[in-house]
Structure 1
Amino acid sequence: MTTIEQLYQHFLKYPVICTDTRTITEGCLFFALKGEHFDANTFADKAITQGAAFAIIDNEVFAKNSNCILVPDVLSALQDLAKHHRVQLNIPVIGLTGSNGKTTTKELIRAVLAEQFKTFATKGNLNNHIGVPLSILSIQSDVEIAVIEMGANHQKEIEFLCEIAQPTHGLITNVGMAHLDGFGGFEGVKKGKAELFAYLKAHHGFAFINRNNPYLLEMSEAADLNKVVYYGTEKENTISGKLKHSDPLIEFEWATHAATYQAKANLTGTYNFENILAAICIGHFFELTPSQINNGLANYFPTNNRSQLTKTERNTVICDFYNANPSSMTAALNNLKTLNAKHKTAIIGDMFELGSAAAEQHEMVARLASNHQIDTLVFIGKSFYAFKDEFTGHFFPSPVEAKAHLQANPVKDSLVLLKGSRGMALEQLLPLL
């Protein structure tokens, strides 16, 4: 069997990792991962034929040539290789998790830090037990600082990802009603996310905490309070801020203990203001100038369907359909209520992974939307459809029926919120808006 040290020597020579034969590049290392419905060991020979330098496998039956490297378990080898690579990197690594806003906050932090440092940040949502190792292994030797997003749907997952990423600094954006099924309820969510603070405390790392969030303050007991940097709306914080307006884009002021600065961001949604303050706080901690921080914020344009404002031929659409849970759905609907528009439309889809709380949470969101005096309400998905006789609006069991409705009854001259869980695939409705 090949050791991790031996595998690392191959990685230094061939530093590109592939896990899918459809994306093989010349001279990559192919890791033959297993899934529920596939065993990539069977593709090892194909990967090498397509140009992979080596295929890392854990079934000797498929070791058909000398370019196959046999390990006890491919996934564990990938994770251990990432740990080994991380130890070689003498740079700050900012670990980031939370129920909502992880990716937007990560991109804001990246945009700010990039004004001063060669910065790496997690690509897309590679934030799980496979994505985090792949992210760590993508950090090249010239990178000066890294931002690693960590997602979780059960306890001990953040703890495990921290052992791989080994963050020196960390941030929890917030805690909310997300992945309740896996975490075992809201208290389980808090306990699971606080694993980041516990890791930082054990390894003498710094935590950035939003003092306006009572849950995060409670969870900060797991952190080293001598190494906590606070941000929020009050002047007692290291970084404080005041939202001027967010209609539709955010304008605000922020302050250190020494001075106050005016700034803008290309984001909509009052709920994004705390994400912006987090990026400012981290930029300030790493000694960027106020001008660099403001430039970084101004140069960030969302392109990932998270709070992304899109003008179509007929409407203005808040594209927020990458994912959804009760907390983020509530924030999005509350934001829509505050925006000025002659006509407002909310098209919202089911929220997944809520377990036994699914019916209660969908009813709560449907009631909230109905009480917000939104001109046109469209609910999509089986969970919302169960309440079609209790609330006003258009209810459809799937996007297929919703699409037919929107084709027959086009939305025009409206401010539209389009939001739902990733599995609802609401992006298919955008061409109709």
Structure 2
Amino acid sequence: MKYMSLQEIAAACGGTYYGGSEFLPREVSSVVIDSRKAEKDSLFIAIRGARVDGHSFIPKVMEQGALCAVSEEDLGDVPYSYIKVASCEQALKDIAEHYRRSLDIKVVGISGSVGKTSTKEMIASVLSQKYSVLKTEGNFNNEIGLPLTVFNLRKEHEIAVLEMGISGFEEMTRLAKVARPDICVLTNIGVAHMENLGSRAGS
């Protein structure tokens, strides 16, 4: 990823930085939520999951060489830097939105009830004949996966093909803020997720 400083990151997510001021200009090498992927100078965002709380892994990732953690908890007097936020999930999106805005790249956003992944693969395959393309991998198309995909963008990428999936109201608004697509492709509007959306019209 293109480097971001801790000062930039704290400002982007509206967090409070705790740690030595000498670390604020330091740049992170990656943004991760999986402690197993933390490496030297990573930013670790402690997401609370249904079964696992990322906060319990903060000491481990800092020992692995991470530069800073993002936490919803007050970590007290610890020998490493961290940024305290109200919501780590929101911070993930806010930081990704800031990162996306810093990149001069065209983005194709793909959504729809069915056919998103195959459409993404076809578009990415065609575009990659001429351009350096990043595409969504697997099912990283939600409010956690999309920001993580955005962080994989490098300076050499010319186009991103990003899949965006929703299951409720306002999700697409939040995803679009992160992806900022230049071109949007809707495969169809079917009857998926009617338990949350009510109808095709969203009522």
| Aligned twin of 1:15 | 29
Equivalents in 1 of 2:195, 2:25: separation in Å? 38
Larger mean CA deviation between 70-79 and 60-69 belongs to: 60-69
Choose which of 109, 121, 127 in structure 2 pairs with 1:113. 127
1:76 aligns with 2:90: yes
CA pair 63-176 structure 1, distance change in 2 beyond 3 A: farther
Q: Please, what is the CA RMSD of the aligned residues? A: 2.5
Choose which of 16, 23, 30 in structure 1 pairs with 2:44. 30
| 8 Å CA contact retained: 1:122, 1:135 | yes
CA pair 10-167 structure 1, distance change in 2 beyond 3 A: farther
| 8 Å CA contact retained: 1:94, 1:171 | yes
| Aligned twin of 1:102 | 116
Equivalents in 2 of 1:112, 1:11: separation in Å? 40
| Aligned twin of 1:40 | 54
In the superposition, the TM-score normalised over structure 2's length comes to 0.82
* Residue-by-residue CA offset, 1:59-102 (whole Å, 9 max, x unaligned): 11366222323233222221111111111112211111011111
Choose which of 159, 162, 174 in structure 2 pairs with 1:160. 174
Equivalents in 1 of 2:160, 2:98: separation in Å? 16
Detail structure 1 runs of 4+ shifted over 4 Å in the superposition.
Answer: 9-12
* Residue-by-residue CA offset, 1:138-160 (whole Å, 9 max, x unaligned): 11111111111100001221122
1:67 aligns with 2:75: no
Choose which of 126, 131, 137 in structure 1 pairs with 2:140. 126
| 8 Å CA contact retained: 2:141, 2:165 | yes
| 8 Å CA contact retained: 2:97, 2:179 | yes
Paired amino acid for 2:11:
T
Equivalents in 2 of 1:145, 1:97: separation in Å? 17
Choose which of 3, 11, 21 in structure 1 pairs with 2:11. 3
* Residue-by-residue CA offset, 1:405-429 (whole Å, 9 max, x unaligned): xxxxxxxxxxxxxxxxxxxxxxxxx
* Residue-by-residue CA offset, 1:37-64 (whole Å, 9 max, x unaligned): 3321121111111232222112113662
Equivalents in 2 of 1:29, 1:46: separation in Å? 13
Equivalents in 1 of 2:82, 2:174: separation in Å? 28
Equivalents in 2 of 1:62, 1:106: separation in Å? 45
Alignment gaps of 5+ in structure 2: 1-6, 16-22
Alignment gaps of 5+ in structure 1: 192-433
| 8 Å CA contact retained: 2:13, 2:85 | no
Q: How many residues matched?
A: 188
CA deviation after TM superposition for structure 1 residue 12, in Å: 8.2
CA deviation after TM superposition for structure 1 residue 169, in Å: 0.6
| 8 Å CA contact retained: 1:11, 1:29 | no
| Aligned twin of 1:176 | 190
